[in-house]
């Protein structure tokens, strides 16, 4: 190869390296870096031993007066939320008996999903201030509060009275819940919808038997596709069961349709579900950009050749751009003050984003603009975000390439849909034989969901009955208009009452979705939901940060809620939980917290090492001769091997002593220990296989030393001879180290660096702990030296009784 070719190839290689490196760095900087760090730390941040309620109430170093108020508040909450418990929430024997009879407690013990239990109300550091919610969270009935029903309000939709739940304790509570699906009123909307769905789904109706032929085209799907296409103005439909699945399926389809470009652009803190490739924490090939930023729009064009999709959650305009969506109190450790982006400003940004994606698709490479309307849709009279965020100047609707619908799409039945423009969903050359559909699901396009969706969408269009007449007495858009007006009025009125009471709490809303803000930088803001619970409000699992009310809520209901919300805030302020943390106290708190977490993990680390030692002794150190050998070999290591190696710097003598004492240790295993080879697998670290490898390595090392001159002469032809100039001390030390280093590397590879280090510490400290474990076998009866094991035999160890039985 001539110099010209070499120069060109070098230039190509260097240029490609620089380009790839620059891309990787920029993509990494725009990754979900904060959450990668949190994910990496998740296995190390441990709460440790409970510190007690008194200490938990003083994390921010309050004055004695504030602390006493908090103690009174704790007693108040315990009286309202406890269950025959002490003021700390610790269960008494009477409470334990009560639990055994409770359906809520019994069911909670079998459920893994903590959302059903409402187990986590406060932020994690306040976990000792939680109260048991199992009994209060077991619902025996749901009903409208008819006494607050309002016929006048019912004329505009809803007005049937706020939903209440009856709990296992027999108490009815207003439902300030997590229902993101049922926006309309029951009698005004869902009752007639359900009646029509039931009529169409009864098995007396022959068409309902289509459910027994899933994943096939039929008339109901045909109707649903047309309804969805009319609603969205798009061309293609794919079905899923849940919203998270729909997002996952949409991104897979889009990537396949965009030449398998790897990247998806999403915006900081926006939520798009909890499935592989979409989840908030683990998002490979997702780039997180700031919302409402020209820099982000420029980024999309700059890397168009890598980006397949740009996905937007339009609820961010309400949550606050680049801010996490509630439930937020679970991580709120200070104030939380959010503000919605003005509608016109956010609309202008979305249209700029659309124009950039359209430009790239037309002139550069295909990029899909995806609107994740799973939460947003069917909450306003405009129904979809594309109609809600019209261009401020031209009034043109947004024209995304893909819209994702879920939650309310089938009036509460499980169904979601991905709707796209021609060329963006699963659109690729099918002659590429290895590119196959990667999105499947047994219940995708489940017949019951399709039928319910047809009734729902027909109702939105003003139809729905079998004879084609409107199924609703009041149009859906009119009902939504009334709902938005009532919710806006509630927010204004409640905030005015908060201000009048001089409490540092406010609420915000978008249609029937509400979020709680805290104005003071208090560590204890997350206790506010507990005070709401104490006022007799039923909170759904994420109502600690966000709640939804449906159209049945009347003005009288809103007034009652106002009183409860203000009373809760007033009592919480009385009890000192809104007191802001001072800057000096915050620094002290953070230092103390980091110190405590470090100590907690150090203890876990120490406990792990000691657990490894304990298991090691339990499963493979049961024979008296083995214990005898371990004790005396430990004495030799401590008195001779370790001082020579680490104090006097004589590796040859130290390794000789180490070798001799180790032979004594291992001879107990080899000749006497009746090993149960299955139970021995519980050990962490050296097992029979790795010990045999170490013996083989020592044998090879001896042969290498014997023939060192011949091997050195041969190797010096290819390697600098000075490389082999090791003293006898250095050679022996290298050999000794390499009896354990390969296994150390293997442990690090399989279990991580810290686990490898814990094993190394265990090995180094074994002689010292063996003295404590085996001092009872300083002297043993000579007969035990004749109790050799049979190497071909199979032994079984009873780990509890320590009896070993030969089975064959």
**Reduced 3-state DSSP string for 596-618:** HHHHHHHHHHHHHHHHHHHHHHH
On whether residue 68 sits in a domain, the answer given is no
Q: How far is the C-alpha of 327 from the C-alpha of 529, rounded, in Å? A: 11
Mean pLDDT confidence for 214-229: 91
Lowest mean pLDDT of 19-23, 65-69, 439-443, 567-571, name the range. Answer: 439-443
DSSP result, 146-161: GGG--HHHHTTS--S-
Inform me whether the pLDDT recorded for 375 exceeds 90: yes
pLDDT at 133 (0 to 100): 80
pLDDT at 709 (0 to 100): 63
Residue range(s) defining the domain that contains residue 386: 242-325+343-440
Together in a domain, 416 and 383: yes
Last residue of a domain, one of 574, 606, 634: 574
From residue 547, alpha-carbon distances to 44, 77, 273, 330, 405 in Å are 33, 22, 18, 14, 20
Together in a domain, 395 and 285: yes
Inform me whether the pLDDT recorded for 755 exceeds 50: yes
Query: Which stretches within 400-553 are classed as H helix?
Result: 447-460, 476-501, 528-534
On whether residue 568 sits in a domain, the answer given is yes
Reference 85, options 100, 69, 98; nearest CA is 98
pLDDT at 410 (0 to 100): 93
DSSP result, 461-498: TT-BSTTS-BS-SS-HHHHHHHHHHHHHHHHHHHHHHH
Strand, helix or coil at 280?
A: coil
Per-range mean pLDDT, top range of 26-30, 180-184, 276-280, 385-389: 385-389
pLDDT at 426 (0 to 100): 81
Together in a domain, 282 and 431: yes
Inform me whether the pLDDT recorded for 192 exceeds 80: yes
Mean pLDDT confidence for 703-725: 62
Inform me whether the pLDDT recorded for 735 exceeds 90: no
β 513-518/546-548 pair status = antiparallel
Note whether 765 and 757 are within 8 A (CB).
no
Reference 477, options 102, 188, 684; nearest CA is 188
Q: How far is the C-alpha of 658 from the C-alpha of 597, rounded, in Å? A: 38
Predicted TM-score (pTM) of the model is: 0.86
**Reduced 3-state DSSP string for 163-223:** EEEEECCCCEEEEEECCCCCCCCHHHHHHHHHHHHHHHHCCCCHHHHHHHCCCCCCHHHHH
pLDDT at 457 (0 to 100): 95
Inform me whether the pLDDT recorded for 387 exceeds 60: yes
Name which residue leads in pLDDT, 512 or 115: 512
From residue 135, alpha-carbon distances to 82, 165, 166 in Å are 10, 13, 11
Q: Locate 710 and state its tokens.
A: 């011949």
pLDDT at 703 (0 to 100): 66
pLDDT at 541 (0 to 100): 67
Together in a domain, 486 and 605: no
β 368-372/402-405 pair status = parallel
Banded model confidence at residue 725, pLDDT cuts 50, 70, 90: low
Q: Locate 243 and state its tokens.
A: 């919203």
pLDDT at 328 (0 to 100): 44
Q: How far is the C-alpha of 484 from the C-alpha of 355, rounded, in Å? A: 30
CA-based radius of gyration for the chain: 35
Q: How far is the C-alpha of 113 from the C-alpha of 747, rounded, in Å? A: 33
Q: Locate 189 and state its tokens.
A: 């909307």
Q: What is the DSSP letter of 682?
A: G
Average pLDDT of every residue of the chain: 85
Q: Locate 465 and state its tokens.
A: 């009955």
pLDDT at 718 (0 to 100): 62
Inform me whether the pLDDT recorded for 345 exceeds 70: yes
Q: How far is the C-alpha of 797 from the C-alpha of 802, rounded, in Å? A: 6
Task: Give residue-wise pLDDT tens across range 486-523.
Answer: 999 999 999 999 999 999 999 999 999 998 999 999 99
Together in a domain, 566 and 634: no
Mean pLDDT confidence for 601-618: 88
Q: Locate 533 and state its tokens.
A: 């619970």
Reference 684, options 774, 581, 633, 757; nearest CA is 757
Task: Give residue-wise pLDDT tens across range 265-309.
Answer: 999 888 888 765 555 455 778 899 999 999 999 999 999 999 999
β 402-405/416-420 pair status = antiparallel
pLDDT at 85 (0 to 100): 43
Q: How far is the C-alpha of 128 from the C-alpha of 53, rounded, in Å? A: 6
The torsion angles phi and psi of 384, rounded to 5 degrees, stand at: -120, 155
pLDDT at 807 (0 to 100): 81
From residue 601, alpha-carbon distances to 45, 57, 588, 685, 791 in Å are 7, 23, 20, 21, 42
Find the distance separating the first CA and the last CA of the chain, reported in whole Å: 69
On whether residue 558 sits in a domain, the answer given is yes
Per-range mean pLDDT, top range of 36-40, 385-389, 613-617: 385-389
Q: What CATH code is carried by the domain that includes residue 399?
A: 3.40.640.10
Mean pLDDT confidence for 392-402: 96
Q: How far is CA 255 from the centre of its chain?
A: 25
Last residue of a domain, one of 440, 467, 492: 440
Reference 130, options 77, 174, 183; nearest CA is 77
Q: How far is the C-alpha of 570 from the C-alpha of 491, rounded, in Å? A: 18
With vertex at residue 425, the alpha carbon angle to CA 424 and CA 428, rounded to the nearest 5 degrees, is: 80
Q: What is the DSSP letter of 233?
A: -
Q: How far is the C-alpha of 494 from the C-alpha of 553, rounded, in Å? A: 15
Together in a domain, 254 and 373: yes
On whether residue 48 sits in a domain, the answer given is no
Q: How far is the C-alpha of 749 from the C-alpha of 597, rounded, in Å? A: 26
Q: How far is the C-alpha of 571 from the C-alpha of 568, rounded, in Å? A: 5
Query: Per the omega criterion (within 30 degrees of 0), is the bond before 327 cis?
Result: yes
Residue with the two structure tokens 């009592």: 571
pLDDT at 388 (0 to 100): 96
Note whether 551 and 544 are within 8 A (CB).
no
Per-range mean pLDDT, top range of 32-46, 317-331, 639-653, 696-710: 639-653
> Residues with Cβ < 8 Å from 687, sequence gap 6 or more?
680, 681
Q: How far is the C-alpha of 127 from the C-alpha of 56, rounded, in Å? A: 9
Half-sphere exposure of 371 toward its Cβ, with a 13 Å CA cutoff? 29
Together in a domain, 612 and 510: no
Q: What CATH code is carried by the domain that includes residue 535?
A: 3.90.1150.10
Write down how long the chain is.
808
Name which residue leads in pLDDT, 717 or 257: 257
On whether residue 368 sits in a domain, the answer given is yes
> Residues with Cβ < 8 Å from 677, sequence gap 6 or more?
688, 794, 795
Mean pLDDT confidence for 521-535: 92
Name which residue leads in pLDDT, 682 or 272: 272
On whether residue 742 sits in a domain, the answer given is yes
Name which residue leads in pLDDT, 685 or 640: 640
Mean pLDDT confidence for 210-214: 80
Mean pLDDT confidence for 416-429: 89
From residue 174, alpha-carbon distances to 143, 158, 337, 528 in Å are 10, 16, 26, 17
Q: How far is CA 464 from the centre of its chain?
A: 41
Together in a domain, 658 and 547: no
Together in a domain, 624 and 708: yes
Query: Per the omega criterion (within 30 degrees of 0), is the bond before 350 cis?
Result: no
> Residues with Cβ < 8 Å from 798, sequence gap 6 or more?
804, 805
Banded model confidence at residue 86, pLDDT cuts 50, 70, 90: very low
On whether residue 586 sits in a domain, the answer given is no
Inform me whether the pLDDT recorded for 635 exceeds 50: yes
pLDDT at 6 (0 to 100): 87
Last residue of a domain, one of 574, 607, 636: 574
pLDDT at 226 (0 to 100): 96
Q: How far is the C-alpha of 767 from the C-alpha of 772, rounded, in Å? A: 9
Number of domains the chain is built from: 4
pLDDT at 708 (0 to 100): 61
The torsion angles phi and psi of 176, rounded to 5 degrees, stand at: -100, 85
Together in a domain, 482 and 401: no
> Residues with Cβ < 8 Å from 409, sequence gap 6 or more?
377, 378, 415, 416, 417, 453, 456
pLDDT at 233 (0 to 100): 95
Inform me whether the pLDDT recorded for 452 exceeds 70: yes
Give percent of the chain above pLDDT 90: 46
On whether residue 72 sits in a domain, the answer given is no
From residue 405, alpha-carbon distances to 278, 376, 420, 603 in Å are 16, 9, 11, 48
Banded model confidence at residue 348, pLDDT cuts 50, 70, 90: very high
Together in a domain, 532 and 617: no
Inform me whether the pLDDT recorded for 92 exceeds 60: no
Task: Give residue-wise pLDDT tens across range 324-334.
Answer: 765 444 556 67
Together in a domain, 600 and 570: no
């Amino acid at each position: 190869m001539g110099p010209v070719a070499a120069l060109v190839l070098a230039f190509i290689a260097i240029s490609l390296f620089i380009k790839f490196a620059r891309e990787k760095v920029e993509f990494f900087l725009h990754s979900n870096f904060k959450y990668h760090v949190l994910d990496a730390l998740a296995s190390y941040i441990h709460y440790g031993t409970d510190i007690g309620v008194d200490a938990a109430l003083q994390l921010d170093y309050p004055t004695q007066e504030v602390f006493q108020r908090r103690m009174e508040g704790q007693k108040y909450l315990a009286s309202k939320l406890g269950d025959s418990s002490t003021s700390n929430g610790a269960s008494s024997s009477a409470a334990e008996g009560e639990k055994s009879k409770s359906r809520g407690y019994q069911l909670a013990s079998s459920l893994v999903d903590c959302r059903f239990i409402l187990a986590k109300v406060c932020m994690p550091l306040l976990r000792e201030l939680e109260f048991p919610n199992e009994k209060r969270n077991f619902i025996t009935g749901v009903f409208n509060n008819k006494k607050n029903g309002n016929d006048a309000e019912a004329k505009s939709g809803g007005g049937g009275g706020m939903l209440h739940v009856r709990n296992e304790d027999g108490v009815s509570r207003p439902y300030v819940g997590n229902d993101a699906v049922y926006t309309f009123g029951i009698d005004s909307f869902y009752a007639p919808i359900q009646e029509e769905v039931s009529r169409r789904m009864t098995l007396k109706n022959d068409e309902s038997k289509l459910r027994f032929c899933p994943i096939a085209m039929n008339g109901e799907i045909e109707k649903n596709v047309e309804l969805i296409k009319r609603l969205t103005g798009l061309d293609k439909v794919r079905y899923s069961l849940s919203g998270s699945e729909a997002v996952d399926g949409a991104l897979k389809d889009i990537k396949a349709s965009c030449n398998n470009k790897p990247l998806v652009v999403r915006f900081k803190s926006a939520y798009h579900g909890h499935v592989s490739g979409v989840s908030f924490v683990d998002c490979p090939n997702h780039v997180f950009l700031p919302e409402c930023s020209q820099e982000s729009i420029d980024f999309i064009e700059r890397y168009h050749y890598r980006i397949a999709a740009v996905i937007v959650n339009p609820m961010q305009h309400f949550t606050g751009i680049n801010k996490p969506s509630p439930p937020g109190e679970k991580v709120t450790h200070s104030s939380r003050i959010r503000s919605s982006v003005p509608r016109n400003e956010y609309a202008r940004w979305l249209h700029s984003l659309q124009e950039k994606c359209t430009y790239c698709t037309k002139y550069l490479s295909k990029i899909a603009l995806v609107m994740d309307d799973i939460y947003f849709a069917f909450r306003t009279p405009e129904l979809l975000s594309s109609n809600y965020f019209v261009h401020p100047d031209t009034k043109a609707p947004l024209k995304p390439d893909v819209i994702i619908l879920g939650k309310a799409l089938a009036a509460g039945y499980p169904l979601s849909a991905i709707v796209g423009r021609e060329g963006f969903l699963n659109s690729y050359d099918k002659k590429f034989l290895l590119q196959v559909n990667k999105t499947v699901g047994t219940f995708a396009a489940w017949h019951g969901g399709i039928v319910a969706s047809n009734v729902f969408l027909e109702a939105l269009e003003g139809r729905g009955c079998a004879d084609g007449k409107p199924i609703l007495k009041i149009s859906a858009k009119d009902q939504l208009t009334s709902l938005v007006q009532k919710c806006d009025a509630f927010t204004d009125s409640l905030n005015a009452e908060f201000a009048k009471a001089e409490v540092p709490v406010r609420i915000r809303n978008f249609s029937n979705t509400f979020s709680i803000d805290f104005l003071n930088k208090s560590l204890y803001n997350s206790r506010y939901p507990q005070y709401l619970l104490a006022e007799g409000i039923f909170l759904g699992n994420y109502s600690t940060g966000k709640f939804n009310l449906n159209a049945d809520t009347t003005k009288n209901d809103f007034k009652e809620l106002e009183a409860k919300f203000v009373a809760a805030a007033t009592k919480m302020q009385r009890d000192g939980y809104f007191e802001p943390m001072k800057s000096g106290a915050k620094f002290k708190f953070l230092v103390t917290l980091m110190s405590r977490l470090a100590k907690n993990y150090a203890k876990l680390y120490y406990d792990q090492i000691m657990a490894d030692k304990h298991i090691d002794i339990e499963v493979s150190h049961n024979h008296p001769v083995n214990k005898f050998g371990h004790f005396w070999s430990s004495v030799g290591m401590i008195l001779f091997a370790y001082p020579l190696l680490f104090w006097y710097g004589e590796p040859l003598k130290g390794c000789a002593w180490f070798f001799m004492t180790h032979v004594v240790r291992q001879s107990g295993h080899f000749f006497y220990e009746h090993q149960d080879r299955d139970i021995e697998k519980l050990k962490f670290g050296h097992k029979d296989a790795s010990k045999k490898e170490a013996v083989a390595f020592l044998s090879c090392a001896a042969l290498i030393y014997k023939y060192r001159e011949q091997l050195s002469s041969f190797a010096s032809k290819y390697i600098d001879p000075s490389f082999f100039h090791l003293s006898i001390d250095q050679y022996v030390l290298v050999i000794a180290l390499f009896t354990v280093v390969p296994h150390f590397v293997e442990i690090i590879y399989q279990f991580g660096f810290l686990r490898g280090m814990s094993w190394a510490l265990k090995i180094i400290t074994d002689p010292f702990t063996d003295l404590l474990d085996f001092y009872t076998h300083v002297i043993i009866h000579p007969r035990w030296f004749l109790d050799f094991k049979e190497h071909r035999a199979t032994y079984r160890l009873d780990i509890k009784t320590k009896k070993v039985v030969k089975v064959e």
